[in-house]
Structure 1
Amino acid sequence: MCLVVPEVADGDGEALVRNLRRRGAHRVVVLTRRAGREELTALLTGGLRGAIAGMVEQTVARPAPVAVPAPRRSLPELTTREISVLELVAGGRSNRLVGEALGLSALTVKSHLARISRKLGTGDRAELVAIAFRAGLLD
């Protein structure tokens, strides 16, 4: 599951982990524009697969272990269309909504995602987005 939230405020990291555990969500990646180091640490130590923040505020003086591992290999090039599909998927859209936004059928979007999955080596939708963010393919 890929969870997109605009901001993880102080104290929200632990609450988010508790809610996800209660709902039985085990494979979760959180994408956020803003989060403090303490909140990212709470998310990652709480069992989430990954947490990616566009801008991490420096809220603590000591460094916290929140580093996301770098990709093991260089990524194959994605087409402009594939990147467009990934951007919309990162925004939480379904295949149907991605298709509507790009003027494609949901089946064509599914084909693009399958091709991206083969290129990036994973079939997990959230992990596709996480890999693309880490590689700098998405803003």
Structure 2
Amino acid sequence: NVGLPTRPGVAPIGSAAARMHRRPPGAPSHPGGYRELSGREVEVLRLVAEGQSNKAIGVSMGLSALTVKSHLARIARKLGTGDRAGMVAVALRTGIIH
């Protein structure tokens, strides 16, 4: 509050602005996060949803397990979640995968 008088029941403008910019649970960590997934990242995510291991994903996509792990780290950052189940949940909820 920048020194303006407040009345009971009236929230300062800053509070309203903060509420408007709050991320809902499961939302991408930054604007447009899930739209920024590459085709490869979406494919990795689809295979994770099928329950495949990093090694199996790598074999089916012609990648090393380490490369798959790197894709998963980028996906997690973009979707704002840190584990496989969370990534799949966000991907299903947002329509990235079906």
Is the structural similarity TM-score above 0.5?
yes
Q: Distance in 1 between matches of 2:27 and 2:58?
A: 31
1:124 is matched with which residue? 83
Q: Between the two proteins, what is the percent identity of the paired residues?
A: 59
Structure 1 counterpart of 2:40, from 81, 99, 120: 81
Cross-structure match for 1:15: none
Q: 1:98 corresponds to which letter in structure 2?
A: I
Structure having the larger proportion of residues in helix: 2
Q: More strand by proportion, 1 or 2?
A: 1
User: Structure 1 residue runs of 4+, over 3 Å off?
Assistant: 69-75
* Structure 1 unmatched runs, 5+: 1-68
Gaps of 5+ in 2: 1-23
CA RMSD in angstroms comes to: 1.7
Q: 97, 101, 107: which one pairs with 2:56? A: 97
In the TM superposition, what whole-angstrom CA distance separates every residue of 1:7-62 from its partner, at most 9, and x where no partner exists? xxxxxxxxxxxxxxxxxxxxxxxxxxxxxxxxxxxxxxxxxxxxxxxxxxxxxxxx
Q: Which has the larger radius of gyration?
A: 2
Amino acid at match of 2:69: K
The CA deviation at 1:78 is: 0.4
Which amino acid letter does the alignment assign opposite residue 126 of structure 1? A
How many residues get paired?
71
- Between the aligned partners of 2:62 and 2:70, the Cα distance in structure 1 is 14
